[in-house]
Structure 1
Amino acid sequence: MTSVPSAGAVREAGADVTLSPAKRALLARLRHRSVPQPDGPAVLRPGAGRPGLVLVHPVGGAVLCYAALVSALGGDEPVWGFAADRPADDLPDAGRLAGLAERYLATLDLAERRWVFAGWSFGGVVAYEMARRAGGTAVLLDTAYPGSDPPEDEAAIRRFFLHDLCRTAGLPPPEPAAGAGGTEPGVADLAARAGLTADLTAAEIEARYRVCRSNALALAAHRPGRYEGPVWYVRAGRSPDHGPAWRQVAPDLRTRSLPGEDHYTLLGAGPVGAVAAVVREALRRADRGE
């Protein structure tokens, strides 16, 4: 559910060699982005077409996970990305996710164009809430229905964070291990055991964890409201099917499934073309008001 580190979390020296060409190109744009306000979007791809596409960060807060998707989209619609470089601890857990949606919408000129809001995993829930409030189209990329798998406790969030970070980096998570005196080691120590410290410092890992924890708690407390507008649900074939749950609140749900893919391969080089085709269809139909 998280992505690889954002521009603020990738070390300047040495990290780029481990990234794909698409991610290196996107990272270069992010490093030189001009954000008019702290919660404003980064331009992932400039364009003059309509409508506009907004991609919302997954639970880890970064947007490099969308690099291959942006490259595969084609067309000339502009693409913006919302990243989270700090936890939203100023918002209460119960209203935090809706507050993020409102905060991000406040930085967009909603009267300028039609909008498509998309996100992978946690990002899809925020995108859905943005579409509800703005009257746009939502695209949920393998997005579980909120509350379907809440974290049990702090240790569960830590285990999830490490699992997520490892899977997005293409590494297996380390086996659970206790620290000195039987205590659980910190996330930076766990990440070091998993081999993740080549591209991230301990401080960067802890910062990523704080963002992940904030978003995980927001997701667990959130319950989506009903939306009658268009919602697309793209499911990785090996993921649980949350379509029926989403349809309870989004009756105009349009579903697609990619057999053989799991949550962490959905945006990979192989299936991303099929994902991009769904997003393009959503853009075309949004432009026609469908």
Structure 2
Amino acid sequence: MAIRDGYLWQPQLLASPLAAPTAASNLLPANGTLLVLGGTGGIGRTLCEHLLQSSQRRVVLLSRGGECPKELHAYASRIDSIAADIADLARWPTVLEHLRERYGHFDGVIHAAGTGAGSLIRQRDAQVLSEAMASKTRGMLAVEALIEKMTPGFVLYCSSMSALFGGAGHLDYAAASAVLDGFTHYRPHAENGCVRLGINWDIWRGVGMAAASGVGDDAHQRHLAVGMSAQEGCRVFDAAMTAQLPQLLISTTDPATARQFYPVRHSAGSTLADTAPVLTADTEAPDRLPEHLHDCLCKWLGVSALQPDASLYELGADSLTLLDLIDELQAATGMVFQLSQFSHKVSLTEVLALVQASGAVTPADESQWADAVRIDQWHAGAGRERLYLIHPVGGDVQAYRELASALHPDLGVWVIADPALRLPDLPNISVDERAQLYIEALQAHHPDGTAWRLAGWSFGAWVTQAMCSLLTEDCEQPLLYLIDPPAPDAGHELAQIGEAQIQQVFQREFSARRGLDTATSTASEDASRYLQSLIVCCQNNMASMAGHQPEALSRTPVRLFIATQPNPYGMGSAWRMADLQRAWKGLLPHMLSWQALDTDHYGIVAAPWAQVIAEMINADLSTAQG
């Protein structure tokens, strides 16, 4: 992903026939020595046999067992088998030194190791996931160490088309393959002559992990039917070695057909009409809506049944799932919903209640800022006290999910997302103008006799501080929680920020949006539109911060949580922590606490630090009630 001149650039697939090589690759000397990791598996073993067709070429097979496959016994005199676990990085330096002393140099290295696994994320243990990825990801780190030490002529990373298409039950394999893809483009030292290559293999017919799995799966069998033979795979290998491109994605069918072989939970790569049960015109939509949404969610989440009050997030829903749900709701009811309206524990019951409540409200004209601000309820609480969460620079409020989940159930939680997320044509406004609009909306919304608090992270912290500065002396002051606000002088730095730093902010903001994969072209049209809205919000809000100076709050009680690790884009890094604390104390004379947390700007709203902040908020609630 790259951001240039306000546009999001994403890589696209270019279909191109792979021409047969007219001459042998200069990367494969006839008398060379090659190291193969994973050479006992189907694809690795087949490539070994292919390489050994040259009578003077030698192959070093490195595997856990150190055995030579029986299929290669005819070439045993030119094969060295070494027992080593490439996933054991603690012992790898010893193995690497042995390889260097014994061989000195390799003409090439092929990383073909990998472990297949298949089940939904919610059914997988984190340790099991890590181990399943180890042979690819830790093996890649082992290879990178070998490149640094021995400078082989080339390294070929054997990846998979699953890195592009994913597939339900293949998180670890797809993710590990995507890591390999990233390293094929890695160029750390210009003086290191090692050529990095990557092949995203399609399915092989008769060899490899895919040939032995999914026997009863009709889609898998159809995929195998169009898979590559061993001979075709070897021809592709030769062509790739001649082309010497950093990444080749090999597909035996066109991409649209190929996607059908990688099952998905919801609409990634296809339309809802293809993946969801259809609500037909001759049925009564209001009566059928609960059943229809239940069936859609079961299909997308890969479950057979769904309790109405079950948290969709706990069942594996992400932002894409909810965007699909929003699209389905619009198709069924004509109503347009926003992600911010779904709470941190959204359920089917909550969604249906939103539909019912929205149907009773007359839509307002939101073409102007004054009418555009909306306050969404995430949790009703006991009705005695409310916490209002203000969006960060990216505009949406999903980053607060972990914090909200850890709050006391008696505390009501309400959120304000950036109106520009749903109304991108709104003009940009300053931080102070935004604060004025938000405080007016909040004062009109907040019920009398209910205590209130205000919290904001990052840009949201500056907005909440500006909101409090606008309160007149006769207004009740809220308890304010500032979560890693930009340094007091960050506005001056932002006025001179370069494009590279802005891109870093964009990338971190987008990576925090669960389920919005900016590196793939398979995202739905709804997700792409939402991502574009995030870009607009991020640009506008960063521009509004330039030159802004937070005002002193003479009457507002404040708790400030600060991340002690450097933020990802360098602003405010010139401050020593003690000086920064004194500067904020000067602006916030009624600061109740300053809590330094050992994390960075983005980690502070994730576990375990979100729970630390929630504990402090909960303690304040107990004190107020006591």
**What's the TM-score bracket when you normalise by the shorter of the two chains?**
0.7 to 0.9
Tell me if the contact between 2:431 and 2:466 (Cα under 8 Å) persists in the aligned partners.
no
TM-score (norm 2): 0.36
Q: Does 1:198 align with 2:532?
A: no
Work out the CA distance in 2 between the residues paired with 1:129 and 1:30: 33
Partner of 2:487: 145
Paired residue for 2:603?
265
Q: 1:237 pairs with 536, 561, 564, which one?
A: 564
Deviates more, 1:206-215 or 1:103-112: 103-112
Over the matched positions of the two proteins, sequence identity in percent amounts to 24
1:74 deviates by: 1.8
Distance 1:264 1:124 in 2: 14
Alignment of 1:68-79 (within 5 A): 68-79=402-413
Q: Which residue of 2 aligns with 1:209?
A: 535
Work out which of the two has the higher radius of gyration on C-alpha atoms and give 1 or 2.
Answer: 2
Q: 1:278 to 1:97 in 2, by over 3 A?
A: same
Q: Choose 246-255 or 195-204, whichever is displaced more.
A: 195-204
- How far the C-alpha of 1:51 sits from its partner, in A, is 2.2
Determine whether 1:21 maps to 2:346: no
Cα pair 2:388 2:453 within 8 Å, conserved? yes
Query: Which residue does the alignment assign to 1:66?
Result: 400
Q: Tell me the secondary structure at the aligned position of residue 605 of structure 2.
A: coil
Correspondence for 1:39 among 373, 382, 406: 373
**Aligned to 2:456, which of 116, 119, 122?**
119
CA distance in 1: counterparts of 2:468 and 2:383, whole angstroms: 19
**The 10-residue stretch of structure 1 (34-43 or 219-228) with the greater mean CA deviation from structure 2:** 34-43
2:457 corresponds to 1:131: no
> What whole-Å deviation, never above 9, does each CA across 1:220-239 have from its counterpart, x for those lacking one?
24222221220110112314
Matched, 1:50 2:376: no
> Which has the larger displacement, 127-136 or 47-56?
127-136
1:66-119 deviation digits (Å, cap 9, x = unpaired): 111111112412110111141695464374343344344344326432211001
1:136, distance to aligned residue in structure 2 (A): 1.2
Partner residue of 1:246 out of 555, 580, 584 = 584
Q: Report the residue type matching 1:256 in the other structure.
A: Q
SS at match of 1:21: coil
Distance apart, 1:49 and its partner CA: 4.1
User: CA 1:100–1:151 in 2, change beyond 3 Å: closer, same or farther?
Assistant: farther
Q: Which residue of 2 aligns with 1:184?
A: none
* 1:227 is the counterpart of 2:561: no
Return 264-273 or 115-124, whichever deviates more: 264-273
Q: CA deviation at 1:43?
A: 0.5
Normalising by structure 1, we get a TM-score of 0.72
Change over 3 Å in CA distance of 1:246–1:77 after alignment to 2: same
| 1:278 equivalent among 599, 616, 619 | 616
SS of residue in 1 equivalent to 2:415: strand
User: Quick one: which amino acid aligns to residue 462 of structure 2?
Assistant: V
Q: Tell me how far apart the structure 2 counterparts of residues 97 and 156 of structure 1 sit (CA, whole Å).
A: 27
- CA deviations on 1:195-216 (whole Å, 9 max, x unpaired) are 4863764332221111112211
Name the CA distance, whole Å, in 2 between partners of 1:268 and 1:66.
8
| Paired amino acid for 1:136 | P
Determine helix, strand or coil for the equivalent of 2:463: helix
1:163 aligns with 2:163: no
Q: Which residue of 1 aligns with 2:85?
A: none
Structure 1, 154-163 or 110-119: larger mean CA deviation: 154-163
Q: Given the superposition, is the C-alpha separation of residues 40 and 53 from structure 1 closer, same or farther in structure 2, using an over 3 Å criterion? A: same
1:175 aligned residue? none
| In structure 1, C-alpha distance between the alignment counterparts of 2:407 and 2:531, rounded to whole Å | 31
The root-mean-square deviation of aligned C-alpha atoms, in Å, is 3.6
Residue 13 of structure 1 deviates from its aligned partner by 4.6
One-letter identity of the residue aligned with 1:224: P
Q: 1:84 aligns with which of 413, 418, 424?
A: 418
- 2: CA distance, partners of 1:49 / 1:110: 9
CA contact (8 A) 2:455 2:464 kept: yes
For 1:227 and 1:272, the matched residues in 2 are separated by 25
* Aligned-partner SS, 2:604: coil
Q: Shift of the alpha carbon at 1:147?
A: 3.9
Q: Is the 8 A contact 2:432 2:466 kept in 1?
A: no
SS at match of 1:140: strand
Most deviating of 243-252 and 73-82: 243-252
Q: Which amino acid aligns with 1:264?
A: Y
Assess, with a 3 A threshold, how the Cα gap between structure 1 residues 154 and 237 changes in structure 2: closer, same or farther.
Answer: closer
Distance 1:39 1:94, change over 3 A: closer
> Could you tell me which amino acid in structure 1 is paired with residue 558 of structure 2?
V
Q: Deviations over 1:29-49 (max 9, x none)?
A: 589386876412110111124
Q: Counterparts of 2:453 and 2:496 in 1: how far apart (Å)?
A: 33
Query: AA paired with 2:378?
Result: L
Q: Unaligned regions of 5+ residues in structure 1, if any?
A: 1-11, 172-190
Does the 8 Å CA contact 1:88/1:96 hold for their aligned counterparts?
A: no
Check conservation: 1:97, 1:222, Cα contact below 8 A.
no
Give the 3 Å change call, closer, same or farther, for CA 103–285 of structure 1 in structure 2.
same
Structure number with higher relative contact order (C-alpha < 8 Å, ≥ 6 residues apart): 1
Equivalent pair of 1:50/1:287 in contact (CA under 8 Å): no
